[in-house]
Structure 1
Amino acid sequence: MASRPSARWRARVDEKATELAAGAQDPSDAFLSELFPESLLAATDGALQAFESEVGTLRGRDDEQRAVLALNEINEDHDGAGYETEEREQLCLYIDQALTEHGIDVAAMAARRGISRTEITDDWRDW
């Protein structure tokens, strides 16, 4: 299964917190917990978990739409700044990988819609 970006973000936050507690990191460099607050991590993880649960049964009906709309709401709940460029790219890649792992031909799905594979979330994505 594709690795959820939120799990990787949480691991980075935990790693930096451990370094800070051990004195191996300057407190002025401890910004990851602000970039990835627990509310963002938990909500994102929940939305992606729901997507994983549903994606296998939704074949061919804009499988990514519900996940993208949930992520829009999470981003809005974080003042429109929950997902920066790198995080947006990771989320889009995760959606593509999860769809592919469930047997969905993402390239064909995109072609049917007249878009490129990298644009499959664009119709609904606000982040």
Structure 2
Amino acid sequence: QDFKPGAPQTWAAFGLQGQAISDLDVQATAFIGEAGQTAARLEADYDLLLTNDLILQPTGELNFYDKNDPQRGNGSGLSTSELGLRLRYEITPQFAPYVGVTWNRSYGKTADYAREDDEDVAEARLVVGLRLWF
């Protein structure tokens, strides 16, 4: 669900998730919007064990759209990318706080829409969170 003010959009998502070579976690997701729009997201991450409990995780994500959507600020083709680096401490495998940084970039028409709204085309963010699974 996209919640951009004035332009909510519901998507159906279909995805595959698995491990590629050398324990590289990959995910590919295809989206179909209410009005027939389509999008795709490719994600990958890799766990580098620094110790048994301390893990460095580089991540990457690419987002693609089939057509321009000015209401939501998405341009066709490669829309955005994100590269990240997270350091997490696994207290248990199911409970792990993390800290990290992400670099986000918009491309093509998506970048043009961002500039029109006085938003940054590229930015870095600090992230802090808690990884949970059960």
TM-score by length of 1: 0.31
Point out the structure with the larger helix share: 1
Question: Higher Cα Rg: structure 1 or 2?
Answer: 2
Q: Larger strand proportion, structure 1 or 2?
A: 2
Larger RCO: 1 or 2 (CA < 8 Å, sep 6+): 1
- Structure 2-normalised TM-score? 0.30
